[in-house]
Chains A and B, each alone.
Chain A
Amino acid sequence: MLQKLYDWIDERVDITPIWRDIADHEVPEHVNPAHHFSAFVYCFGGLTFFVVVIQILSGMFLTMYYVHDIENAWRSVYYLQIDVAHGQIVRGMHHWGASVVIVMLFLHTLRVFFQGAYKKPRELNWMVGVLLFFTILGLGFTGYLLPWDNKAYFATQVGLEIAEQVPLIGPEIKTLLAGDPDIVGAQTLSRFFAIHVFFLPGALFALMAIHFILIRRQGISGPL
């Protein structure tokens, strides 16, 4: 039955090459922890991706309750945390995922660095990876404000004051992020929400796609 359904779709759309392109690749011995336990260091990149998926899914559920205005932001988070069934778990996953993804990313970066895996011909993928690192730090910075509690508010204020001190374009950067040259308030929350939920995830998806396509084209780096 399933096979017939697959054949029916395949005859019309020719989907076999599409998913074979993704699924058909070799896993060399030196990256396989089943053969060499020390190869677990190759897991960090995959675990980073896994946590990013957790962040996307939990974040999607959080937006079902979260309200990005200064009157209700904190109340909606409080409600989610206290009253919504399993809300505490979903928010907990998003909160801890934000930290775990940084840890995994850090370990993945160190693995690639100390193995010299960024050398020719993989320079471009290293740079895409560093841009991914910056994007995820940006997601961490913008997401920190959203619960609109004291630690969020004052950390963001400090962050924006630091941005303001950049010569020439500092005040413009601050206004762009905060929505106002002086006030950290309703506009700031809306902008950080938009950046956190639309702009940066867009960049994240594009960069991840390039990262993975390049890995598939170049193959994983050989053993040292």
Chain B
Amino acid sequence: MIRAVGGRVLRFVLTLFATSVLVFAFMRILPGDPAEVVLGTGATEEALERTRAEFGLDRPLAEQYWDWVSGIPVGDFGVSFITGEDISPVVLDRLAVSLILVVSAMALALLVAVPLGTWAAVRHRRADGIAISAATQFGIAVPNFLAGMLLVAVFALGLGWLPANSWMPPAYDPVQFVLHLILPVVALAAVQAAVMTRYVRTAMLDVMGEDWMRTARAKGLSTFQALRRHGLRNAALPVLTVSGIQLTTLVIGAVVIEQVFVIPGIGSELLTAVAGRDLLTVQSVVMLLALITLTVNFTVDLLYLVLDPRTAVQR
């Protein structure tokens, strides 16, 4: 068990290292001189040199990399080339907004997907089970930003029940905070729920084919009872893994949804930085988002060891 945990920790650290090198390298390999981006194409060579020296861009790449990466654990992403301000405070504020969005959407998606997927699996030969499968097939074909726009068109512009966009800090007005959150969260969760329902259904179908499920049925349990007592726990394992991976989709989904609903989250920050060619901010935000998704997947990996001790012995 200790060996298994140690191996996973080691792998996680290596992955983080590799990711940081890749993100750093990607931003530097691509054509484009940060100093020229700051000053514009008409800048003289001396001015460029001065700017490079100011931001430390004339130092060796390894040194620049170390400078950047060693700040990350203590939450220091450096100073933006464009705005000249510290990147961290802004980014972390924005991140909090996005996390509220992503976590609520994931919770809502699971809340819908688990019962719906189970239902679809139990009744997989009946009309209602097939109808659920068909609905999810349509659901995964709709981009979340389209879902968001349609929700706005109907519930905000059409019926006028909910605000169409913008964000309300919870400390400012809790009721308005929730009202503003509903449409973006539902838009994110709807598509996610369709994806997750399909995975839950598959996991449940696999579980239902197991011998011990037949035994449970033979003992006199109904299908639903057997699933509740024995099936759910076993089906939870693959669903947990998928939830971890799906989080990356949700993070990206949030970046797009924030544009639809004009929410000041990390995605808006990223796109503003992209538009302003604020390379260090882009690099830092991307690294931060990668850090979050990799950490969640690492946690899922560890949870797996607890939930399914068999995995500790394999490999």
The answer to whether A and B interact is no
Q: Chain B residues in contact with chain A, CB under 8 A?
A: none
